[in-house]
Structure 1
Amino acid sequence: MTAFAWGAATDTGRVRPANEDFLLAADGLFVVADGMGGHKAGEVAAHLAVEELRARILDRGGPHTTEDLVEAVQEANAVLVSKAGEDPDLRGMGTTLCAMALVRDGDRDLLGVVNVGDSRLYLLTSGELEQITDDHSLVATLERQGRLTQAEAAVHPQRNILTRALGIDERVMVDSWEIVPFVGDRYLLCSDGLFNEVDDNRIASTLRRLADPADAAHELVRLANEGGGRDNITCIVVDVIDDQGRDPAASPTDGRVAARVDGRDRVLAAAVGEPAMASSDPGGADAGGPADGPGAGGAAPSPRARWVTWRVAVFLVVLLAIIGAAVGSIIYAGTSTYYVGFQGDQVAIFRGKPGGVLWLQPELQGEPTDLTREQLDVALQAELDKGKEQGSLLEAEQYVDRIRAQARPAPSGGLPSPGTPGTATTGTTTGLAPTPTVEPPPQ
């Protein structure tokens, strides 16, 4: 069976009057909850949520599935909603919840992960730190949409507004994952009091530097206080110390990386229920106190791959629709109008925009007219050099007729248009000298 070593630490911080974070660190179940609500309601919410998971996962024994873990979170949410309805002092209470538990899928061990709110789970593997969970907060949503940068999100005045939390609605959307554990993997569960004060690079370096998980957890809390300690801080560091030979190529070879990648082909993201909206204090949830275990450090390789979720599918459909609409607009703009310009030195009508639109270049309509550049005054030449846009082919032809009426006669030797001012229209060919009359010799 998969075995763990872990260490945990929690602290009120330097600003908050009480610690509303609550944690549970036990063999096979690790939970962080960050409570919110006035008059100790946040503390109560976090405590109730964690205890509900303890009762449904630890106290009932196993093996459990990830679905059991998701259902336990839903039950915790129901308990909070019920308690808030019974006690006016608890109305408006809520909590985040991030949990990781050892679950079974057939004959293999997996790590089931659930998350609601902005507490986080990180994985350190091959020396690289990766955030597994997604924050359910306003600024995180804006950042994922590309409307805020990471730096802007870190100082945004609404960064403490949650888009999901337990205790707000009767049903809550629960994100869940399944991860294959390997020896050397190190996990970090934490409340936002840590990552709002300590950046990911420093978190990663601390997890790499300190082999004992208890030392690492306490050092991260210390760093958060050093960074300002403006919120409650809770950390649980969990090391996978035995996977019972799940990774047969456990030596540092190229084969190990390939085996670990293959072994991580099932990392499932799922969601259940309806989303809730909650406004969060930047705070966390009352501490259950540290539960420290024996330490074993080290990093191990292997990136993880997630299945495509329905959210990704919907996003791709919307993205393709937007791209299609944009391409259609470009094609319409590049082909629905006409303009009059020059083809060489001759006046011509083109379909499209002057200069083209992206890959759509103007197309010559028919043959160039018999009007030439030098028949036009300077102002008209400049106008046609830019391209005189018209709404339709008919309007373009009418515009050509108008400038033809203003044009100078074609130079000698040219072929001006019939009816051009200053041109004779006799029986002789315009522009050619008449045939001389020859008198017969006198008789």
Structure 2
Amino acid sequence: MATIEGTPGYGRDHLPYGVVLVAGAPTPAVRIGDQALDLAAAEAAGLVDAGGVLRSATTLNPLLAAGPAVWRRVRARLLELFSDPAADATLEELLHPLAQVEPVLPIAVGDYVDFYSSEHHASNVGRIFRPDQEPLLPNWRHLPIGYHGRAGTVVVSGTPIVRPSGQRKPPSQESPSFGPSARLDIEAEVGFVVGAPSPLGAPVPVDRFADHVFGVVLVNDWSARDLQAWEYQPLGPFLGKSFATSVGAWITPLAALSEAWTDAPTQDPPALDYLRESDRRGLDLSLTVRWNDTVVTSPPFAGMYWTPAQQLAHLTVNGASLRTGDLYASGTVSGPRRDQVGSFLELSWGGAEPVTLADGSERTFLADGDTVTIEATAPASGGGRITLAEVTGAVTPARSG
């Protein structure tokens, strides 16, 4: 069928959801190949049935809030349509080439939480910042560490990233100074988008993950390491993290990742009961990070110590409610090797070992004008792979005043 030709990794086995501008107006869409199907128009035409929530939607939130039964019904119908040659002519009128539409942030973000779930990343950071101590703090293997981020600075892939300014205090200085971050970094992460909400005071059990999470999106949690190092004691990340978090423009539904689940690492000591999974599974996602035109690292997501289901259970165990559009991210994805790390802090070992890019230039942290792109693939049905929507951003100079 003509409707599924185009970019590999975006066929019928994927069908990620996003929001695009059509004639200047945001409309929910599903990606097929290198085209976007207008879902509002498709529901108005009677081609899909989401209970009417798509017809006037400007974000994916109404679809997310409708819950798993509607998600399954819409996806099943889309699979039928894209498999039926008789539907080609009708669908053609509702398809827009991606080159002719502008993707925008697909959800109205409720809350944003970032975790710290890679043992390799946490150990590397500990060795860099606390070389004379145990790399992992005593609580790390007992609970998924996280912090509450700033939902208002979550931006769609392609949004320029303004270099943040703030207080910095290098060890060589007696007092802090103010100015642009000199140690601007990235964190390659995987994010989980919440659809169905939960009531305040009602924890979400670890086995109810799929009842609430709609899908997966790549995340770059930009980080100003010099701002972070001065401010995080004793309360944790703040201005060093809150200036920008980039997400991919297309959300991969959990249904498209059915072949990507794999055994997660064994936990020692065993997790407490509310974190203990009857079927302990992680996602076999293969990430790559490009710094300008150079692939510098390839983090493996399958090795994350804390799983997405455990993160969700811990996030709500105190009774915190879920809201439609909530986003929580895995934390930096790092493997055991230097070419598998998910931050430039690790790649340059705290700035002590510069990285040489393809053009011969050297970097420790990001320079103005640099572009970072995070990509990922996952196993799909039939032995193929799907491609998660990339997340990219270019650094622009700090603003004064």
TM-score w.r.t. length of structure 2:
0.26
Larger radius of gyration: 1
* Higher normalized strand content (fraction of residues): 2
